[in-house]
Structure 1
Amino acid sequence: MLRLLSIAFLISLMAGAPAAPAQSATPPAQTAHPARPTPPTRDPHTPGYVTAKELPDGTIPPASVDGNFIIGPTHTPAPEMSVQPGVPQGTVSEFVMQSTDSKLYPGIAREPGTFGTPDPNDPAKLIVTTSHPAPYTRRVEVYVPKQYVPGTAAPFIVGTDGPDHALFTALDNLIAEHKVPVMIAISVSNGSGDAQGSERGLEYDTMSGRYAEFVEKEVLPLVEAKYHVKLTSDPDGRATMGGSSGGSCALIMAWYHPEWYHRVLTYSGTYVNQQWPYNPQTPHGAWEFHEHLIPNSPVKPLRLWMEVGDRDLFNPNVMRDNMHDWVVANERMAQMLAARGYHYQFVFARNAGHVDHAVRQQTLPEALEYLWQGYPIAAAKQ
């Protein structure tokens, strides 16, 4: 019991909430993570889904237009996703971060083969008793374009679940084509695991500013010091991106710290009820974005590009809380963003699964070009 109390106290501190007592004297038995059911293929013209423009197969939306679009079923890679002859190549470097060096994420892990049990009084709450302190290491890869002028303040994009060499290749080509600014890219690996009770879940699914603060205070200073670059402090020159929980994390970073980030790119964003530990201020995790936060908050200076696949995830856990359908979550996001007047582009991809590789190969260059609309291309902001 003392061990459980100490774990609960540690996790509550990392989540920014007061320590909570153990759930019961005899915790519920943990269950093995159930196999994910095969997702149904969703029709983008389903009643309640956003009205979207269906594009001819093999085409993608223009990078200058807001709104909702349907693409597929064919997903041919964009030419910018391959190394092109004569295009300047940026340098890619890597360093490793240790959990022992982090003040914000000392590290947790969920025991292998376990998941959690729904609270019998509230299926939207998951009880996890097998999470405990644990060390981790993470890789950080940094892309610096050939065109970067040392000493200038560069715009940049932070990506989750790094390394991301496809992003670096796309940036080589897009920068050479003058479709995006000369920018640095920073791909940060997660601290391991997935979902509730894991380090990755704690980092990416927690509805707070903590992960953005980790990047700001513990990652970016290392990038600047190790590679002798200067990163802009202008939030209009800072972007985040990711897929799945890394995608919802990208929006969480900008939502809680819009003074740092204005641009967000997500594939199959986990805008569902995945947060753990439970937080009564956002009881439904990232589902709160479209349920309460976006509709009930002043409009933030954010620009978003989002994608979801027609075979994206559907209720892949034991909670059965009606808040674990990735397609519905992203459709609701598009509805709320439109209602509140945000600049966003939403792509519904036919013949596509979760963070679909073929869709990413087809759309990432256009997504990046859309993301950086309005930012000066010729020169970095100082």
Structure 2
Amino acid sequence: MAVTAAVVAMLMSGWKLLGAQGQVPPATQPTEAPRPRPTPPTRPALRLVQATELPDGTLPRPTQDGNFIVGPTHAPAPETMAREDVPKGTVHEFTLTSGESTVYPDGIARDPGTFGTPDPSNPAKLDVPTSRPAPWTRKVTVFVPAQYVRGTVAPFIVGADGPDPMLFTTLENLIAQKRIPVMIGIAVANGGGDAQGSQRGREYDTLSGRYAEFIENDVLPQVEKRFDVRLTKDPDQRATMGCSSGAAAALSMAWYRTDLYHRVLSYSGTFVNQQWPWNPETPQGAWGYHTTLIPNTPRKPLRIWMHVGDRDLYNPNVMRDDMHDWVEANERMAQALAAKGYPYQFLFVRNAGHCDRAVKAQTLPTALEYVWAR
């Protein structure tokens, strides 16, 4: 997106090393000292796609496809807040370790205080020699609605970077209002760290079906066994969601394992070049979704809801590969999806940062309704 030369100069000199903000690694992993980050520039309205600008405080209907501009104020939707007159579901939790995993038994972590350096022969490749083997421990949190009938097969949504109380409360209210099916909510914590060289980055930013297989093989059987629920095998009754790299993971789960998932909900999707290790088959990382993968692949049976904020991330690390603008990446995603005829709804949100909690509180109910609208 267009920014002034002064802003670019500030970003080039001042933006350091961080991945997605607001993600807290599990206590079992070493943490890195926080680094200050300048406020991202406010990007202008969309330039690659046509969009409908809505009056402030309103959202598109959950049956509307296309591109929309909303904001700048963000009042929380009442469905995101607990109500006394709604049947109460139950929330359960269990711990999963790398020793129990069939998919990620060999966790990794980046040494504290380190990041990586661009490969001098390939600016799209980051070298991270300080990434080492490390075990992981994570929490899995599960919401079972009061309306669930034991022994029946249920739809479900699985979210990244759990736990997610707002998701569970919203599911509870929308199910009671019969606006979505009776479904199980599953929030899975990440494996620790962030971005290249970390377990979280390995899981979320890699373009493959491996994370979907981790959920399928290591998480869902435990959910069914521990909490006496039956989860559907129908991909049209399964949804994924996440924010930042968690949103990239949500898309990859459905893109690479369309036999498992058809519905995707993405906040501030990290559709940028953050895959590590570098893979010559997907050399642009998730930036390749909108440059090659979606344009060059027959349309898949996916339904996608997406958001980006006008102050979303812009080059938050040492790479200068022109593939690290979150606003441009998400707009390009909308452009690619529209060209292939996908059902999608994309919100460009004014007065909003990366993974903006106020925006989530405003939009989550209609986003869930959109994802489940057909």
Q: What's the TM-score, normalizing by structure 2?
A: 0.90
Q: Is the 8 A contact 1:158 1:241 kept in 2?
A: yes
Q: What residue is the counterpart of 1:172 in the other structure?
A: 172
Indicate the SS of the match to 1:295.
coil
Q: What residue is the counterpart of 1:41 in the other structure?
A: 42
Indicate the SS of the match to 2:124.
strand
Indicate the SS of the match to 1:296.
coil
Q: What residue is the counterpart of 2:246 in the other structure?
A: 246
Q: Matches of 1:101 and 1:342 in 2, distance apart?
A: 38
Q: Is the 8 A contact 1:306 1:345 kept in 2?
A: yes
Q: Matches of 1:131 and 1:284 in 2, distance apart?
A: 21
Q: Matches of 1:238 and 1:104 in 2, distance apart?
A: 21
Q: Is the 8 A contact 1:33 1:115 kept in 2?
A: no
**Deviation per CA, 1:23-69, whole angstroms, max 9, x where unpaired?**
xxxxxxxxx99753421101114x3x311100000111100110000
Q: Is the 8 A contact 2:102 2:217 kept in 1?
A: no
Indicate the SS of the match to 1:346.
strand
Q: Matches of 1:272 and 1:84 in 2, distance apart?
A: 39
Q: Matches of 2:222 and 2:123 in 1, distance apart?
A: 42
Q: Matches of 1:34 and 1:286 in 2, distance apart?
A: 25
Q: Matches of 2:35 and 2:180 in 1, distance apart?
A: 42
Q: Matches of 1:315 and 1:190 in 2, distance apart?
A: 23
Q: Is the 8 A contact 2:70 2:350 kept in 1?
A: yes
Q: What residue is the counterpart of 2:321 in the other structure?
A: 321
Matches within 5 A, 1:192-211: 192-211=192-211
Q: Any unmatched runs of 5+ in structure 2?
A: 1-32
Q: Is the 8 A contact 1:262 1:303 kept in 2?
A: yes
- Measured after TM superposition, the shift of residue 85 of structure 1 is 2.2
Q: Is the 8 A contact 2:307 2:347 kept in 1?
A: yes
- Measured after TM superposition, the shift of residue 283 of structure 1 is 0.6
Indicate the SS of the match to 2:75.
coil
**Following TM superposition, where does structure 1 have runs of at least 4 consecutive aligned residues deviating by more than 2 angstroms?**
32-38
Q: Is the 8 A contact 1:37 1:316 kept in 2?
A: no
Q: What residue is the counterpart of 2:93 in the other structure?
A: 94
Q: Matches of 1:69 and 1:290 in 2, distance apart?
A: 19
Q: Which amino acid aligns with 2:270?
A: T
**Deviation per CA, 1:142-171, whole angstroms, max 9, x where unpaired?**
000000011111000000000000000001
Q: Is the 8 A contact 1:207 1:252 kept in 2?
A: yes
Indicate the SS of the match to 2:217.
helix
Indicate the SS of the match to 2:287.
helix
Q: What residue is the counterpart of 2:52 in the other structure?
A: 53
Matches within 5 A, 1:1-382: 35-45=36-46, 47=47, 49-105=48-104, 106-374=106-374
Larger Rg: 1
**Deviation per CA, 1:7-32, whole angstroms, max 9, x where unpaired?**
xxxxxxxxxxxxxxxxxxxxxxxxx9
Q: Matches of 1:166 and 1:50 in 2, distance apart?
A: 31
Q: Is the 8 A contact 1:33 1:114 kept in 2?
A: no
Q: What's the TM-score, normalizing by structure 1?
A: 0.88
Q: Matches of 1:138 and 1:316 in 2, distance apart?
A: 26
Q: Is the 8 A contact 1:35 1:316 kept in 2?
A: no
Q: How many residues align?
A: 341
Q: Which amino acid aligns with 1:71?
A: V
Q: Matches of 1:80 and 1:191 in 2, distance apart?
A: 30
Indicate the SS of the match to 1:239.
strand
Indicate the SS of the match to 1:265.
strand
- Measured after TM superposition, the shift of residue 101 of structure 1 is 1.3
Q: Which amino acid aligns with 1:242?
A: G
Q: Matches of 1:37 and 1:293 in 2, distance apart?
A: 32
